[in-house]
Amino acid sequence: MRCDMLINGFSVHASFDDASVISVFKPLLIELARLYSSKKSRVVAFIAAPPAAGKSTLAAFLESLSAEMEGIPKVQAIGMDGFHYPQKYILQHNVLRNGVSFPMKDYKGAPDTFDIAFLTGKINELYEKATVMWPFYDRRLHDVQMDAIEVNTPIVLLEGNYLLLDAPKWRDLKCDYSVFITADEEFLRKHLVERKSRGGASLQEAEAFYERCDGPNVRLCLENSLPADLTLRITGDGEFRKV
């Protein structure tokens, strides 16, 4: 199944095999609809995955697919990247690695570059308010845009790297259903280095960034995430399979 979507401000063309759509994605949406019918209030589902595992694309695809299915309440896909600290803050602060202080900008994307208190509060709002204004991370500006998205649907898909992280404060995030996407690290490494190179970095710079920042983030997600209601594996050809 092919789909053209707007993800993080960029046009993306995605394709999912029919087997995954029939056996994985449609049943997932039916389960979320069942939860909504049972709760009679908003359902919040997490889609957690390491960097480059396709979580943003999958969330956007599920939103699109839901609109084609009968009996599925309206679904909206949103992300946690809007909870990065603002760029001004990141440029003025450091992070600790093995007791040594480094500029936060060199580790942007790691858990400690996100405002977890702000994220927790906004997730709680999803349960308390019919309409919630959500921040957005603009990849063209490399900065956060506050109150950029109006969230008002019965089912909300929230995607992000650390939504299931087994760490203080992160493990307290609330959801009704969770999905985790896993993959081989080498597959993720290849895509992350390519992504960094497309952004203008040399191959050497992209590989160095992976070793310093992306690689540890990938391993953190793969090795320190809480169990999910549904675990999917992304294969070498980019397809999703139940684990």
Task: Name which of 190, 192, 209, 221 is nearest 107 in CA terms.
Answer: 209
The predicted-structure confidence for 104-128, as pLDDT tens digits, reads as follows: 999 999 999 999 999 999 999 999 9
Does the pLDDT value for residue 132 go beyond 60? yes
Does residue 103 form part of some domain? yes
CATH number of the domain at 149, please: 3.40.50.300
Of 15-29, 153-167, 178-192, minimum mean pLDDT range: 15-29
CA dihedral sign of residues 21, 42, 56, 167 = negative
Q: Inter-axis angle of helices 185-198 and 215-223, to 10 degrees?
A: 150
Does residue 23 form part of some domain? yes
Q: Work out how many domains the chain is built from and give that number.
A: 1
Check if the beta carbon of residue 3 is closer than 8 Å to that of residue 43. Answer: no
Does residue 241 form part of some domain? no
Does residue 240 form part of some domain? no
Does residue 243 form part of some domain? no
For the entire predicted model, the pTM comes to 0.92
Distance CA 92, CA 89 (A): 5
Query: Between these two residues, 19 and 63, which has the higher pLDDT value?
Result: 63
For residue 87, the enclosing domain spans 2-235
The predicted structure's pLDDT at residue 4? 54
Does residue 205 form part of some domain? yes
Q: Using 50, 70 and 90 to split pLDDT, how confident is the model at 141? A: confident
Does residue 242 form part of some domain? no
The predicted structure's pLDDT at residue 8? 56
Give the percent of the chain with pLDDT over 70: 94
Tokens of 156: 């909300």
